[in-house]
Amino acid sequence: MKDILTAPYMVEMIRTVTNMYNHGWDERNGGNVSMLLDEADVAEYLDTETAIREIKTGFSAPQLDGKYFLVTGTGKYFKNVQYEPEINLGIVRLTDGGETARLLWGFSDGGNFTSEFPAHMMSHAARLSVDPENRIIMHCHPSNLLAMTYVHTLDEREFTRTLWRMSTECIVVFPEGVNVLPWMVCGTNEIGEATAEKMLTARLVVWAQHGIYGCGRTLDEAFGLIETAEKGAEIYMKIAHLPILNTITDEDLHKLEERFGQKGREGYLD
Ligand code: 13P
Ligand code: ZN
């Protein structure tokens, strides 16, 4: 068996969570990431039949039965992942219709997967139903997006339109817009279900006064979505209190739709 720490997906996961920490998106243990893995990619490195222990998930997700995930640990600091991946990350296989997670590697201090496991797994199931190639669910706490949820309406159309106007790239990178959930208690099945529902229509879901969820086929895609939305929010927080003399108009946004062959979400542009 090859060394799991040399697996390309492991290397990329460690680099990505380190980069997220360096962007200031993941203070303390803030944020969590999960990656869907193919059985063949796990079997090259681990005995898939032997579980270190079994963990009850507290929910069922029959669509994910038998699937493998590399996931960050609860209470773990992203800044430490690169130094002690085996403590801070784990690889699990879901069984019993998603009710049990068999730990195959990691969480070696007796730890557990992220407290946001329900939101991650339910979001994976939702995204796979609209994009069979989706592999990543990413959650973090970028400051400007968080700040924006204190001073901007949470209406999804308005929130999206504001971000689209904050930089030319926004409508190109997330033409479907961002969905928004009101403040809710985190780490519960309820917020998991609500997030998954929102993930059916957009790859970005803002959790008001908490953070954001992004998803994608690759870590780069999920990271890039959050990075672009956070840049938009940063511009907003820099200018919202100043007299606005110029902006990107709906007419300009229509020109971008044409130039990049990407339609903005139906009904979001005048
Ligand atoms: P975990 O440490 O359980 O992953 O929680 C961090 C977080 O961001 C909660 O929303
Ligand atoms: Zn969080």
Dump the DSSP string for 137-167: EEEE--HHHHHHHHHS---HHHHHHHHHHH-
**Is the CB–ligand 1 distance for residue 188 below 6 Å?**
no
Phi-psi region of 28 (alpha: psi -120 to 50; beta: other; left: phi over 0): left
Is 221 tagged catalytic? no
> Which ligand sits nearest to residue 146's alpha carbon?
2
**Is the CB–ligand 1 distance for residue 32 below 6 Å?**
yes
C-alpha span between 69 and 219 (Å, rounded): 13
Residues 71/113, Cβ–Cβ less than 8 Å: yes
Q: How does pLDDT run across 222-270, given as a tens digit for each residue?
A: 999 999 999 999 999 999 999 999 999 999 999 999 999 999 999 999 9
Mutate to test the pocket of ligand 1, among 27, 88, 116 (most ligand atoms within 8 A of CB): 116
**Is the CB–ligand 1 distance for residue 31 below 6 Å?**
yes
C-alpha span between 31 and 19 (Å, rounded): 12
Cα(116) to centroid(ligand 1), Å: 6
CA atoms within 13 A on the CB side of 18: 12
Q: What is the pLDDT of residue 60?
A: 97
Of 77, 75, 78, 80, the closest CA to residue 110 belongs to: 75
Interval 122-131 mean pLDDT: 98
Cα(181) to centroid(ligand 2), Å: 13
**Is the CB–ligand 1 distance for residue 29 below 6 Å?**
yes
Q: How does pLDDT run across 30-43, given as a tens digit for each residue?
A: 999 999 999 999 99
107 φ/ψ angles, rounded to the nearest 5 degrees: 45, 45
Q: DSSP code of 265?
A: P
**Is the CB–ligand 1 distance for residue 227 below 6 Å?**
no
Of 206, 186, 61, 165, the closest CA to residue 115 belongs to: 186
Residue 26 alpha carbon, nearest atom of ligand 1: 8
- Residue 45 pLDDT class (50, 70, 90 cuts): very high
Q: What is the pLDDT of residue 269?
A: 98
- Residue 14 pLDDT class (50, 70, 90 cuts): very high
Q: What is the pLDDT of residue 254?
A: 98
| Domains of the chain and any CATH numbers | 1-115 (3.40.225.10), 121-264 (3.40.225.10)
**Strands annotated E in the chain:** 32-37, 53-56, 68-72, 89-95, 100-106, 136-140, 179-181, 204-207, 211-216
Q: What is the pLDDT of residue 197?
A: 98
CA 17 to chain centroid, in Å, comes to: 11
